[in-house]
Amino acid sequence: MKFDNSYATLDPRLYHKQPPTPLKNPQAGHFNPIIAKRIGWSDDVELMQNWVSILGGEVIPNGFAPLAMAYAGHQFGQWAGQLGDGRGLLMAQVRDNNDQLIDLHLKGIGLTPYSRMGDGRAVLRSTIREYLCGHAMTQLGIASSSALGFVVSDTAVRRETIEAGAALLRVSDCHIRLGHVEWIASFAPDLLVEFTDYMIDTYYPDSRQANYPVVDFLTQVVKKTAIMIANWQLIGFAHGVMNTDNLSITGSTIDYGPFGFLERFNPAWINNHSDYTGRYSYQNQPAIGHWNLNVWLPHFMRLTQAGVTKTALAECLAHYETSFMQHYQHGICQKLGLAYPIQQPNESISAPDLATNRLALTLAYDLLSIIEQNRLDYTNSFRALLAVIDASNFQHEHDLLQQLTLSLDAKQLKLWQDWKTRYLHYIDQYTEANEVVSTLQKHNPVYILRNAMAQRSIEMAEAGDFSEVERLFQLLSNPYDVQNIATQADVTPPAADAPEIVISCSS
């Protein structure tokens, strides 16, 4: 691997160097060959042979420089003070096959100075959920951390009950959070210039070409965050705990805790059992992203010599809503197979094209209304549109469409049929059917990580059988294709009268 441990060269107040605390008798859970190839791990015989010992904290390979990061944050809207890596270590930074900087972060590996009241460990159930979801999101095309693999052990960890301790080697393009800057602002303000330079030079080097590099950097963070959250909304993903310390500066999804994918569509769905007010519900995610950035940006007011002013920061933040709406509207139309071009700066759209775009958006929002009113499955409803266009060549989608229509009462069935007529008329007028089919296939997955799927793999793994983890890993590797290894349960939502799933933060 090509090591580039640049974070370890920063001011030592930003981290604490330490080795991991080994797990007892670590055993293989699952290994990700896709990530191993990407980062060069699979080219090193010693790393391949010792991956279980490395992830279990027993072996620190040459080139690794483990450290725990210090950061702070706002949690559920309240200032939480110093946080930091309380059970994880940034083990190394490497360059992948595309020369992109990649962090290797080992989670569940013991106490650090930032553990507060925690025990520094992770349990098997949460480790499997993060492992599978990071992989699923990556294969869905959404910027996300993933993982090289995970191990389970004989280390006993107390949560609600005694559970098996586990560790996961998370892989991400960045582990710098909004909370890093919050920590600097409160505890080491003299480091702001140095740290900002590091963020720009390491993650946004193109900003150096701008008249005001810091302002351009901040604008890019705002835009990437907006696009990430738009992608969450489009795929039906709810993060569950969007604290400022859980958002990366690169717009990549990190910190999978009480996450979930929408099944029966309820925009107000709360998947975190600690979220008593619904602050982090699915429908609130766009507003919370804006809130977090609004808290984060003013810390840069100290950099007045770099062109940072209140006006400049307001202009940075103004990009959030524009970026989110453009990307979401573009994406929701793609989920219908329809074109909706993203308007570029200083680009004008003709009146006829504008009218066509409005028709496409109206179709999209009307379909969402039908899905919501009938609590239909979010993923299946969009995928079923393939059968509306071409029922003869899409048997799986034809079955989904039948299930959808059979669940509607007479009034709702009439609304659906009227919508379908308008949809097909739009396609006849403005598109080519083959292009619609291609776009539908690319933007509507067959498979997401449903809660029941994850739970089934966890229960089998806790009994020592990791075959379901392997099956789901393979299934989620190609989420846009119908696969023979799938079961009916992989595409079946909970019963309409089943209580909505909430997930514990304790992991």
Amino acid, res. 80: A
Supply the pLDDT for residue 87. Answer: 95
Supply the pLDDT for residue 358. Answer: 92
Q: Predicted confidence band at 366 (pLDDT cuts at 50, 70, 90)?
A: very high
Mean pLDDT confidence for 401-422 = 96
Non-local CB neighbours of 169 within 8 Å, separated by 6+ positions? 54, 55, 91, 104, 105, 106, 107, 147, 148, 149, 150
Non-local CB neighbours of 200 within 8 Å, separated by 6+ positions? 207, 208, 213, 214, 217
3-state helix, strand, coil in the chain (%, to 5): 50, 15, 35
Query: Would you list the DSSP string of 433-450?
Result: HHHHHHHHHHHS-S----
Mean pLDDT confidence for 167-180 = 98
Is the pLDDT confidence value at 19 over 80? yes
Separation between Cα atoms, residue 467 and residue 470, nearest integer Å: 5
The answer to whether 282 and 240 are in contact (CB under 8 A) is: no
| Alpha-carbon dihedral sign for residues 13, 14, 17, 22 | positive
* DSSP E strand boundaries for 138-236: 146-158, 162-172
DSSP letter for 177, please.
B
Q: Is there a catalytic annotation at residue 245?
A: yes
pLDDT in tens, 307-332: 999 999 999 999 999 999 999 999 99
Supply the pLDDT for residue 340. Answer: 82
Is the pLDDT confidence value at 350 over 80? no
Mean pLDDT confidence for 321-345 = 91
Tokens representing 352 are: 């006829």
Separation between Cα atoms, residue 455 and residue 453, nearest integer Å: 5
Mean pLDDT confidence for 392-400 = 96
Q: Predicted confidence band at 500 (pLDDT cuts at 50, 70, 90)?
A: confident
Maximum Cα–Cα distance for the chain, whole Å? 68
Is the pLDDT confidence value at 339 over 90? no
| Alpha-carbon dihedral sign for residues 43, 47, 48, 54 | negative
Output the CA–CA distances (angstroms, integers) from residue 201 to 196, 208, 214, 389, in the order listed: 9, 8, 11, 48
- Give how far the C-alpha of residue 58 lies from the chain's centroid of Cα atoms, to the nearest Å: 30
The answer to whether 194 and 181 are in contact (CB under 8 A) is: no
Supply the pLDDT for residue 118. Answer: 87
Residues facing residue 105 across a β-bridge? 90, 170
Q: What are phi and psi of 118, to 5 degrees?
A: -85, 180
Is the pLDDT confidence value at 354 over 90? no
Count CA atoms closer than 13 A to 101's CA, side-chain side.
16
Separation between Cα atoms, residue 288 and residue 270, nearest integer Å: 14
Residue among 488, 485, 491 nearest 472 (CA): 485
The answer to whether 67 and 18 are in contact (CB under 8 A) is: yes
Is the pLDDT confidence value at 352 over 80? no
Is the pLDDT confidence value at 506 over 70? no
Only one residue has tokens 């507060």, namely 116
Pair type for strands 67-69 and 146-158: unpaired
Supply the pLDDT for residue 135. Answer: 98
Q: Predicted confidence band at 391 (pLDDT cuts at 50, 70, 90)?
A: confident
Separation between Cα atoms, residue 383 and residue 401, nearest integer Å: 9
The total number of residues shown for the chain amounts to 507
The answer to whether 95 and 101 are in contact (CB under 8 A) is: yes
Catalytic residue among 85, 216, 245, 377: 245
Separation between Cα atoms, residue 129 and residue 170, nearest integer Å: 13
Angle at 260 between CA 253 and CA 268, to 5 degrees: 105
Mean pLDDT (the chain, rounded): 95
Burial of 409 (0-12, 13-18, 19+ CB in 10 A): exposed
Burial of 19 (0-12, 13-18, 19+ CB in 10 A): middle
Mapped onto helix, strand or coil, the DSSP state of residue 503 is strand
Mean pLDDT confidence for 150-178 = 96
The answer to whether 204 and 224 are in contact (CB under 8 A) is: no
Supply the pLDDT for residue 505. Answer: 59
| Alpha-carbon dihedral sign for residues 402, 406, 410, 411 | negative
Supply the pLDDT for residue 351. Answer: 77
Q: Predicted confidence band at 348 (pLDDT cuts at 50, 70, 90)?
A: confident
- The pLDDT > 90 percentage for the chain reads 91
Tokens representing 441 are: 């296939």
pLDDT in tens, 36-91: 999 999 999 999 999 999 999 999 999 999 999 999 999 999 999 999 999 999 99
- The pLDDT > 70 percentage for the chain reads 99
Mapped onto helix, strand or coil, the DSSP state of residue 454 is helix
Supply the pLDDT for residue 507. Answer: 58
Supply the pLDDT for residue 273. Answer: 87
